[in-house]
Chain A
């Protein structure tokens, strides 16, 4: 595509000391197109490199490229790209010599449909979104062996947005999870277990989250910016200059943020530099007839912790709830009698898996099928629904999971007590339709 940059103020330290900056240039950008399984960028989007010598396509000759990300040691770059316009998106990797890409890019994936939005994982693995059946699912792959594992199993679309330093994958999906709704941020371990909402103060559209050096998660909230801190259970509003923000911020070594911003919905996004707290933005780069998005600095950064998968070699999974009354929902004390679990049939309709008792303390323990959408419903003594989960979750094969309550919120730690259900039996109620619950 033709690119005509109008501003050359990089806004970074002197060029000889500046890390290279990558960004995606796209005529059209629809940040939430993934919700319906569509492309976020126009078909001729391209990743550009801006360094001391100027701006160049990261990989000349590609029909399209987007979603640049840098390895933790700063020595390679991943991106989504197409060799030809009619190709599907694939994940590519190119080595980096400190200033420039070196050698030919290597294709990492062989997806029948699109694979986009890649990130490095510790342990020589990558994670990305793979389109299958018209939907994006999150998949992880071993770079050396090419072995893949699907990480998301709900209805709807899922797109990774970062890998957190504690090893979890930050991804965006709708809230309620797997249902039509508002984009929200979630986490999952790199083996697909432990899926949960990052925070439970659901409201505004939240997407394109990135973790900054402080550990906070910064993301697009509505059209502005929001932040999750470790200390707070609710989103913290970021008072940034007026305009619209596209998320996917990059943080410089001085703590400034590079972010895609536009004054209004009629304008194109351009990359600005902002010192958090300042009243104004400074220009980094812009283009007259295209958006500039996803600023990415080619620098070494902290290697996240590798998640040591503790999944067992069992076909199914076990779910323990400590106390269903611990909930953001208001459920009258003593009213919960039983729990139902649902999966989805081939038409997408809820399919009852079974019913299990809930003990007086609100605990229940069930053995469930894996790698498919699951939904919980609480019932009173007459079989009337007290509360039904709005969205869906999943469990990985061999996963054992315990929850504080039903939608308790990540800020709620468990009370230390033996769940009554485990005093009754350590064998979970079977919801799999098989005769040997317990999974082992």
Chain B
């Protein structure tokens, strides 16, 4: 998702907003990061085809059209800018710098205002469409992503991925007037045609009991009341992306993943690892219906963007891992859905032959296609090819790409970009079923626990770990079994995940370089001045304490700061802290790093602790994982507050 250049920009951002002490810390961190990267990353790529100094990849991700249809506004995530494209000429006519890692876009109903969410700045840039200048910046929750403007033009709804909520913002005052609880990883929003409802999706599953099917939701907000009025439950779904509504308001669709994390990953065929699918909702189907888009031997990985033509004849789905757009005949889809449900009284979401009844075409587009947008007349479909820095223009009648708009990014593809392309494609897994980005959504986590095959069925259940700033956290794997990243991503992935020939040496090097380049996301729990709150200070003292409350010394190896030491809060060793489970082959666990631990729930090697608190309240009965049983509830809260700052 974000490369080393983004990391540098992040440091710059930190420098701008921090006092001298923090500035020095940031520079030191950057220096340490650089040194570690130099010493630990894979062999540098042989090809010397770096882009020209100063050039940055753009990574177009979302789009909007001006009301007159003349301009296409493209959010360029890695470029930290909005580019305006003249539709007639296919040329970029304006570039608007916005905040860090822009991720979503909406227009006011009159088209005079353009709103862009800045995920790493926690803001919305308000752009005057006439001058194409940022005129205001509005605060949001953590990592704002999707955004819509209501019909009145007075209210914005913003999905905040890291705070898992939806900000309701008064446009006139620029103030957030409400914060609505949404699903975990709230990310995408759509407004119904009549403006009465906002529909929200989220990319991580909601917290649930250990080893139970993941559940997600479509959060429905009544715009009149600015309140959540319904949560449509999506059973066995983890990873919901764009949502769209038909013009008549009777059909909604959300793109989603159905992971198979609870069955042993013995192989890949027959949709054994992921089901790429959609959830339909609305009066046309009644309730919710999940429908697959895969085939028996071909998979359409990571369905992401969705669009329904104004006449509701067709539906388009970008598949971010498969470099294609799936075209669905809506009438056939609805007929099949009604007939199947009526006659068989069961779901067909696991039937890989079902899509043949409603999918009419698969259109090849560029790498990592994400956001998709229909022209107002429905004749053209625009697809943002995030890792090609261009836009595919599709004739919706002919179902063919008619042109490609070059957004003007670097013409060379460097090792990090190649690695990023490898990370996001599903081409390497058997029959193209999944890629790295299936489990590491946008290069983060998926919030799931998996039963991998090599250790035996039902054994060694593993939680998905964060990939942020991994240098200096080796070895990898829950038990430290993989000494380095090439081992982690190379033969192991080929043999036990992809089950198909995967990366050559150059590709592996590129991929590892990219993974090592992934930076920390900004931590929102640290004060701007670098100091700690009183609660965080108290928590720090608990984290670093060497004595029990009764004054007796805590054995060194049972202190938090013994294992969680060093710049990444890991001593990089493997230790039995009593958190092993009967199904684990060994109780010895690799000490995980702690920076940004707040964002990576659930916890413990197998994901059995749903929250930081549960690590000690549920899984530390004998004080083997640090000493916590002499702490009061308030003190444990303080410890957690401190951990959030790491």
* Residue ranges of A at the interface with B (Cβ–Cβ < 8 Å): 122, 166-167, 194, 215, 229-234, 305-310, 312, 318, 320, 322, 365, 400-402, 404, 410-419, 422-423, 426, 428, 438, 440
Contacts and interface: CB of A to CB of B under 8 A. Distances in A.
19 contacts: A194-B267, A230-B296, A232-B353, A234-B353, A305-B430, A306-B501, A307-B499, A308-B491, A309-B495, A310-B453, A310-B499, A322-B263, A410-B296, A411-B353, A413-B270, A414-B263, A416-B214, A416-B236, A428-B457
B458 interface: yes
B353 A167 contact: no
A414 B356 contact: no
Given A167-B430, A402-B263, A412-B352, 9 more contacts: A194-B267, A306-B500, A410-B269, A411-B351, A411-B352, A413-B271, A415-B236, A418-B263, A422-B458
Nearest to B267: A194
Nearest to A428: B457
A405 to B, nearest CB: 11
Interface stretch (B195-203, B253-261, B384-392, B594-602): B253-261
B360 to A, nearest CB: 11
A414 B272 contact: yes
Interface string B335-359: 0000000000000001111011001
B213 interface: yes
Contact of A400 (B266, B356, B494): B266
Nearest to A196: B269
Q: Which of B214, B494, B498, B501 has the most CB of A within 10 A?
A: B501
Interface of B: 211, 213-214, 236, 258-264, 266-267, 269-272, 275, 292, 294-298, 350-353, 355-356, 359, 430-431, 451, 453-454, 456-459, 491, 494-496, 498-502, 583
A426 B459 contact: yes
A215 to B, nearest CB: 7
B356 A422 contact: no
A414 B267 CA distance: 12
A108 B51 CA distance: 49
Contact of A231 (B266, B296, B500): B296
Contact of A412 (B270, B451, B458): B270
B263 A417 contact: yes
Q: 8 closest pairs, A vs B, by CB? A: A413-B271, A422-B458, A231-B356, A426-B458, A233-B353, A306-B501, A402-B266, A411-B353
Contacts of A215: 297-298
Contacts of A233: 296, 352-353
A232 B296 CA distance: 7
- Find the residue from B353, B457, B502 having the highest chain A CB count within 10 A: B457
A232 B356 CA distance: 7
Contacts of A440: 456
A38 B530 CA distance: 82
A78 B283 CA distance: 61
Contacts of A413: 260, 270-272, 275, 292, 294, 350-352
A42 B356 CA distance: 43
Contacts of A416: 213-214, 236, 258-263
A145 to B, nearest CB: 19
Contact of B269 (A194, A308, A423): A194
A308 B495 contact: yes
A307 B457 contact: no
A353 to B, nearest CB: 19
A428 B457 CA distance: 9
Contacts of B298: 215, 230
Contact of B350 (A231, A305, A365, A412): A412
A422 B496 CA distance: 20
B359 A231 contact: yes
A231 B270 contact: no
A77 B496 CA distance: 33
Majority-rule SS of A interface residues? loop
Contacts of A312: 454
Contact of B501 (A307, A411, A419, A428): A307
B454 A308 contact: no
Contacts of B260: 413-414, 416
B500 A401 contact: no
Contacts of B502: 308
B454 A305 contact: no
A230 B295 contact: yes
A149 to B, nearest CB: 17
Given A231-B355, A232-B356, A412-B352, A308 B494 contact: yes
A400 B494 CA distance: 16
A137 B170 CA distance: 74
A422 B457 contact: yes
A305 B432 CA distance: 11
Nearest to A439: B456
Nearest to A421: B458
Contacts of A166: 297, 430-431, 500
A308 B294 CA distance: 24
Nearest to A311: B495
B582 to A, nearest CB: 9
B589 to A, nearest CB: 18
Contacts of B267: 194, 401-402
A410 B267 CA distance: 13
B242 to A, nearest CB: 22
Contacts of A230: 295-298
Contact of B264 (A234, A402, A415): A402
Given A402-B264, A416-B258, A416-B262, A310 B351 contact: no
Nearest to B210: A418
Contact of B583 (A167, A414, A426): A426
B260 to A, nearest CB: 5
Contacts of A306: 500-501
Given A233-B353, A402-B264, A412-B352, A305 B458 contact: no
Contacts of A423: 458
Contacts of A412: 270, 350-352
Given A230-B296, A231-B359, A305-B501, A400 B264 contact: yes
Nearest to A322: B263
Contacts of B499: 307-308, 310
Contacts of B451: 418
A416 B431 CA distance: 20
Contacts of B430: 166-167, 305
Contact of A308 (B211, B264, B501): B501
Contacts of B214: 416
B356 A320 contact: no
A320 B296 CA distance: 21
Nearest to A312: B454
Contacts of B456: 318, 400, 426, 438, 440
Nearest to A425: B458
Most buried by B among A122, A413, A418, A426: A413
A401 B352 contact: no
Contact of B296 (A194, A411, A426): A411
A402 B500 contact: no
Given A194-B269, A230-B298, A417 B213 contact: yes
A426 B211 CA distance: 15
A310 B353 contact: no
Contacts of A309: 495
B438 to A, nearest CB: 14
A69 B615 CA distance: 61
B268 to A, nearest CB: 10
A194 B491 CA distance: 20
A418 B453 contact: no
